[in-house]
A and B are shown apart, each in its own frame.
Chain A
Amino acid sequence: MNSSAIAAGPVFSARDITRVYRMGEVSVHALRGVTMDLYRGEFVVLLGPSGSGKSTLLNILGGLDVPTTGSVHFLDQNLTQSTDRELTQFRRDHVGFVFQFYNLIPSLTARENVALVTEIANNPMDPAEALALVGLEARVDHFPAQMSGGEQQRVAIARAVAKRPDVLLCDEPTGALDAKTGIVVLEVIERINRELGTTTAVITHNAMIAEMADRVISLSDGRVSEIRRNERKRPASEIVW
């Protein structure tokens, strides 16, 4: 990321957001006042122990959830004051999601899983092009059950980026993979960020993965405990864990 991106203002800005889950008598404070920005084209890693609120934060940024208090802006749009329909449109136009468990549709091939999205997107890639981007050009007609976990995750990434989203949000994309496969997946995410310039946020438990990022935002107990800038980004291929 260069300094002109910062000058252009953030893509996302979250201001003092809290999220309280209320279940009968008990209320769980998942976020206790988080303020953070995400700039155009940058690669951010969200780091923190289990239960620190990483997924909750990412879901709020992606318009899957709304904060209890505080505000979230995507460019000029105030996500906290949007209706469900506006949030759906926002997700459809701007956000690509990748989850720990790939959430592919078992009865559709890789190409068809990607087509599911490109058929309703505004300016999509060709599904085959998206799959080539993640190195799966030879597997377009295979079903999820015929692919390894890493390959399925790459299909999920192809599906997320095929609509050319402004942001790519990944919740523990390597959580279910071994180190070697995880690195292949991270290389794909790195490449999307570099070549398409897609603003990328990745959640991980793994401090080694944080070396890949422009910035690392650490959460603990629902608060931002540290924001660190990496002087030198380490390529995914050099990561060991």
Chain B
Amino acid sequence: MRAIHRKLLRNLWVMKGQSIAIALVIASGIAMSVMSLSTLRSLQATRETYYQRFRFAEVFASFKRGPLSLQQRVEDISGVARA
């Protein structure tokens, strides 16, 4: 360990009350941000699974008066759930 690091550690030790307080503030800040981010992630995941489970389409396409023979070809397009 270099002398300059030793100085840092000793100085932190001398003001250990403040060091601990600062560390706690930083730690709770990080905890807050981790918590908010994981809440956001899990909400997004919930929405995804809900949409999937109840077969919410991401895209709807409608058209009028097509020949019935097209139905099979549209169903063959990959990602199409139902035609």
Contacts and interface: CB of A to CB of B under 8 A. Distances in A.
B3 A113 contact: yes
A119 B7 CA distance: 14
Contacts, number: 21
B23 to A, nearest CB: 19
A107 B4 CA distance: 10
Contacts of B16: none
Nearest to A117: B3
A105 interface: yes
A34 B7 CA distance: 41
A115 B14 CA distance: 21
B2 A119 contact: yes
B14 A108 contact: no
Contact of A116 (B4, B10, B11, B14): B4
A112 interface: yes
Interface residue SS majority, chain B = helix
A107 B2 contact: no
B14 A112 contact: no
In this complex, the interface size class of chain B, counting residues with CB under 8 Å from chain A, is under 10
Nearest to A118: B3
A107 B6 CA distance: 9
A105 B2 contact: no
A119 B6 CA distance: 13
Nearest to A112: B3
Nearest to A115: B3
Contacts of A108: 3, 6-7, 10
Contact of B10 (A107, A113, A115): A107
A115 B1 CA distance: 11
Interface in A67-125: 105, 107-108, 112-113, 115-116, 119
Interface of B: 2-4, 6-7, 10-11, 14
Given A107-B7, A107-B10, 12 more contacts: A105-B7, A107-B14, A108-B3, A108-B10, A112-B3, A112-B6, A112-B7, A113-B3, A115-B3, A116-B3, A116-B7, A119-B3
